[in-house]
Amino acid sequence: MGMTLTEKILAAHAGEERVRPGDLIDARVDFCFANDITGPLAFREFERIGLPAVFDRERVALVPDHYAPSKDIASAEQCKIMREFAHKYDIAHYYEVGRAGVGHVMLAEMGLVLPGEVFVGADSHTCTHGALGAFSTGVGSSDLAAVMATGRLWFRVPETLRFVFRGRPALWVTGKDLVLHIIGDIGVDGARYCAMEFAGEALGHLTLGERFSITNMAIEAGAKNGIMEPDAAVLDYVTPRAQRPFAPVFADSDAEYAAVREYDTGQMEPVVAVPSSPGIVVPVGFAAGVPVDQCFIGTCTNGRIEDLRVAARILEGRAVHPRTRLLVVPATPAIYRQAMEEGLTRIFLDAGAVVGAPTCGPCLGGHMGVLASGEVCVSTSSRNFVGRMGHRDSRVYLSGPAVAAATAVLGRLAHPDEVLS
């Protein structure tokens, strides 16, 4: 039997002819990164190892995105620790506020994560980059410190679950709806320790941004990584921006999968994950009418230009409901600029939304849109655990950008058709 995409990439990076699920391997890591929350712990552990330099200054990125621009003295101290570490070890890819955005969106945008590579980040949503055909996984700070020291890390080779999207997604059904649908189907531990490989002709109908939304949420089903084979759209995106040579990897035709599930995307409708689990997923109609205090469009899940275009299509010529707040946070400075040039920012401002600086902020209840007790938010982010976006008695519904925008207009959870058919 052949190997899956994940197995082939891991085998190549472990110097093995082949690997099988369950094998423990020591693999070469092509690129790694930390943020301003996980970085300070990783730096402390790295310095305990006692090396004078990181394994390769060109293959480490440090991105202040969670509590940046700093919201208080404590978070400013953490950003300062990162800045000083970057300077001390001459890290090539440290990005200061103004140039930094949400790490997962920005590193792909800059051509720092490439097809066929192994990428490790001290951030659970590092699985996002699998949409480019890379093995990309989240780790903690100590593991990241080990990678910064040696350029290598141990992995247990995961079983691969294959999810095949058939047909053509119906109107307003986005990549986010597809992945929420799967998590609702298999549960928050349905892919625990596994690779989730996404395939099928429906992916060809999705924008690259929508594909990132899918791999981004693999962690929400417990997966080690999410991955897709790179197609022409991926290569068109990556080739002009790649900062290193790369070689795409494809699965063997006789690869062995632990399970294969198929979904007819033509039959799907927009969905939401209801409080307080990404695994409790219902069609929007089931939750329609819930009064909503805040809508948030942004994050590594849905803060890309494609997401902003979908939202703008619904918001153009309309106003945010007087009882509701709408936060739009472009994930990177480049997306922010593009939204301005395409006239999307004007649409948002005219509608009464606030357009924030690139940051993870509201997603984790960090800053720039924290919820009070009893408040309800419809968010395009990836997690709606108790207390995730603020007070433990606040509630979060997860959706794609179309549902979030429609909800902002009507002030209650709404299907986009209710605003624009």
Partner 1 sequence: MILSGTVWKVGDHVDTDAIIPARHLVTTDPEVLARHCFEDLDPALAAKIRPGDILVAGENFGQGSSREHAPIAIKAAGIACVVARSYARIFYRNAFNIGLPLLECPDLHAATETGDRLSVDNETGRIINETRGTLHAAAPLPEFMRQLIAAGGIIEYVRRQVSGRKVGA
The residues of the shown chain that bind partner 1, judged by CB under 8 A, are: 24, 37-38, 40-41, 44-45, 48-51, 66-67, 72, 74-75, 77-78, 122-124, 126, 138-143, 145-146, 149-150, 154, 188-189, 192-193, 219, 222, 224, 277, 364-366, 370, 383, 385-388, 392
User: Smallest gap, in angstroms, from Cβ of residue 85 to partner 1?
Assistant: 13
Helix, strand, coil percentages, rounded to 5, for the chain: 40, 20, 40
Q: How far is the CB of 214 from partner 1 (least distance, A)?
A: 18
Task: Concatenate the DSSP letters of all residues of 59-102 into one string.
Answer: GEEEE--SS-S--SHHHHHHHHHHHHHHHHTT-TEE--BTTB--
Q: How far is the CB of 292 from partner 1 (least distance, A)?
A: 21
- Token representation of residue 394: 């606040």
Residue 225 or 345: the one with the smaller Cβ distance to partner 1 is: 225
The token duo for 301 is 């899940």
Name 26's bridge partners. 154
CB closer to partner 1, 193 vs 250: 193
Please identify, using beta-carbon distances, which residue of 140 and 411 lies nearer to partner 1. Answer: 140
Nearer to partner 1, 224 or 325 (CB): 224
* Smallest distance from partner 1 to CB 392, Å: 4
> Tokens at residue 316, please?
């153009």
Chain CA centroid to CA 390, Å: 20
From the CB of 255, what's the least distance to partner 1, in Å?
A: 22
CA 277, 282, 286, 289 torsion-angle sign: positive
Helices 141-150 and 38-49, axial angle in degrees (round to 10) = 50
Least distance (Å) between residue 294 CB and partner 1? 17
Minimum Å gap between C-beta 48 and partner 1 is 5
Is 355 in contact with 348 (CB distance < 8 Å)? yes
Scanning the structure block, which residue is given the tokens 């990241």?
144
* Dist CA 102 CA 65 (whole Å): 5
Contact 138, 122 (CB under 8 A): yes
Closest separation between CB of residue 244 and partner 1, Å?
25
Residue 339 buriedness (CB in 10 A; 0-12 / 13-18 / 19+): buried
Nearest residue (CB) to partner 1, 325 versus 388: 388
Closest approach, Cβ 38 to partner 1, in A, equals: 6
Residue 190 or 230 having the CB closest to partner 1: 190
> Which among 247, 257, 230 has a CA at the least distance from the CA of 4?
257
Q: How many CB atoms lie within 10 A of CB 388?
A: 23
CA distances from 91 to 55, 88, 111, 149, 375 (A): 11, 8, 17, 13, 41
Pairing of strands 281-283, 271-273: antiparallel
Decide whether 51 or 349 has the Cβ nearer to partner 1.
51
Smallest CA-to-CA distance from 135 within 221, 13, 239, 294 is with: 13
Structure tokens at 81: 């620790």
Of the pair 93, 388, the CB lying nearest partner 1 is at 388
By C-beta, is 358 or 361 nearer to partner 1?
A: 361
